[in-house]
Structure 1
Amino acid sequence: MNKTSSPKVTARGPVDHEVRDQIVAAATEHFSRYGYEKTTVSDLAKAIGFSKAYIYKFFESKQAIGEMICSNCLRQIEAEIRAAVDEVERPPEKLRRMFKALVESGLRLFFQDRKLYEIAASAATERWPAARAYEGRIRELIQDILQQGRQTGDFERKTPLDEATMAILLVMRPYLNPLLLQHGLDYTDEAPLLLSSLILRSLSP
């Protein structure tokens, strides 16, 4: 169910990072075992050993906890993508590596931890701030690679930079968005090579 506003992931009560981290770690394990949608804050409180009221001192809702878990998960995927990009020098290869890492990390989340995948899918469906911020950072990375490619002469310069960036993001979105990933599983072997090759041909000067 869509919400008109997303809850904050900041603590409602005194800032106590150790307790908040403990709640997030326990919630991650609990959601991984039983699923995000089927778990209530009361279930979580019982599993952790805290009272429901105590959890609400640090998070204003279950979604706020899910936001934190989702943010941690997406940050890990982003780190893997950036590491793959940083392994090579030339912008065209950076773009290829980015697409390949994006697909591989998404598949790992989908197949290895389906319960956490459910949280990421909820985040994408309801456009949680964590999901929007992740997509924004991926867009910035694409733009950085395009700028480098234009400076090195590998990419054309006629298309407005923001237009080219958005077009590439839209091509990547089926593998960037956890909700859409499940509909493209039959093509994950070919997609990174075919789509990145198509993108690079369109960027050729």
Structure 2
Amino acid sequence: MKKTSTTYPVSARGPADHEVRDQIVAAATEHFSRYGYEKTTVSDLAKAIGFSKAYIYKFFESKQAIGEMICANCVGRIETEIRAAIDQADRPPEKLRRMFKAIVESSLQLFSQDRKLYEIAASAATERWQVTLAYEEHIQKMLREVLQEGRQTGDFERKTPLDETAMSIYLVMRPYLNPLLLQHSFDYTEQAPALLSSLVLRSLSP
């Protein structure tokens, strides 16, 4: 299968590989984890890191830009784990099952273990940050790749337009991808991957 890009759009300034940028992101991640995203200001970060506020603005145009970078790191890891799970399977039906399972497990791990960092994910989803939109596009692309492969191998039906099928299945996955919806789905996380993937696979039978 064709590999999905893991590049996410972030509003950063200055040299892309500058070590100071990584230092700011690492310090911000720790600070947000301790005090929360909403309650932290760029001035707070500057004091915590030992930089001037103006120096931080040389690398990030706003607090949101720093949050975007942290989000990009988080969803990038989730996407990598989902891709790895898919690649471990040989047949498209099993790839789809593994995709459902990896989405739930990876999302729970990153979005629910640290309640303070969860605030960043919630803000990103609420305000529709570009990194969130890109993540949704990447997941949908991965899903379409699995569906296309399944149609080529004869595992999945071909009558329904591919885009319609992909969007329908994506909407089934969405409660476990979106942090705002995920918080209302905790009671079903153990059962959801197997039940939902089985239901979807029955609908895809040729």
For 1:10, which of 9, 12, 15 is the aligned residue?
A: 12
Judged with a 3 Å threshold, the aligned counterparts in structure 2 of structure 1 residues 119 and 149 are, in CA distance, closer, same or farther, namely: same
Paired residue type of 2:166 = T
What is the Cα deviation at residue 98 of structure 1?
Answer: 0.5
Question: What secondary structure sits across from 1:53 in the alignment?
Answer: helix
Judged with a 3 Å threshold, the aligned counterparts in structure 2 of structure 1 residues 60 and 150 are, in CA distance, closer, same or farther, namely: same
CA distance in 2, matches of 1:133, 1:170: 16
Query: Where does residue 19 of structure 1 map in the other structure?
Result: 20
Judged with a 3 Å threshold, the aligned counterparts in structure 2 of structure 1 residues 139 and 15 are, in CA distance, closer, same or farther, namely: closer
Higher deviation after alignment, 51-60 or 103-112 = 103-112
Q: What is the correspondence of 1:107-186 to structure 2 with a 5 Å cutoff?
A: 107-186=108-187
CA distance in 2, matches of 1:110, 1:8: 20
Structure 1 stretches of at least 4 aligned residues deviating more than 6 Å after TM superposition: none
Long gaps (5+) in structure 2: 1-8
CA distance in 1, matches of 2:12, 2:63: 13
What RMSD in Å do the two structures reach over aligned CA positions? 1.3
What is the Cα deviation at residue 14 of structure 1?
Answer: 5.5
Paired residue type of 1:60 = E
What is the Cα deviation at residue 8 of structure 1?
Answer: 5.1
Judged with a 3 Å threshold, the aligned counterparts in structure 2 of structure 1 residues 156 and 180 are, in CA distance, closer, same or farther, namely: same
Query: Where does residue 46 of structure 1 map in the other structure?
Result: 47
Answer yes or no: is the 8 Å Cα contact 2:10–2:69 preserved in 1.
no
Query: What fraction of aligned residue pairs are identical, expressed as a percent?
Result: 79
After superposition, give the CA deviation of every residue in 1:143-192 in whole Å (9 maximum; x if it has no partner): 00000000100000001011101011101000010111001111111111
Q: What is the correspondence of 1:86-101 to structure 2 with a 5 Å cutoff?
A: 86-101=87-102
Question: What secondary structure sits across from 1:37 in the alignment?
Answer: coil
Answer yes or no: is the 8 Å Cα contact 1:8–1:60 preserved in 2.
no
CA distance in 2, matches of 1:189, 1:96: 14
CA distance in 1, matches of 2:70, 2:134: 14
CA distance in 2, matches of 1:14, 1:70: 20
Long gaps (5+) in structure 1: 1-6
CA distance in 2, matches of 1:95, 1:59: 38
- Normalising by structure 1, we get a TM-score of 0.93
Paired residue type of 1:127 = R
What is the Cα deviation at residue 16 of structure 1?
Answer: 5.8
CA distance in 2, matches of 1:18, 1:80: 26
What is the Cα deviation at residue 10 of structure 1?
Answer: 2.0
Give the count of matched residue pairs: 198
CA distance in 1, matches of 2:89, 2:33: 35
CA distance in 1, matches of 2:36, 2:184: 21
- Normalising by structure 2, we get a TM-score of 0.93
What is the Cα deviation at residue 15 of structure 1?
Answer: 5.3
What is the Cα deviation at residue 193 of structure 1?
Answer: 0.8
Answer yes or no: is the 8 Å Cα contact 2:36–2:119 preserved in 1.
yes
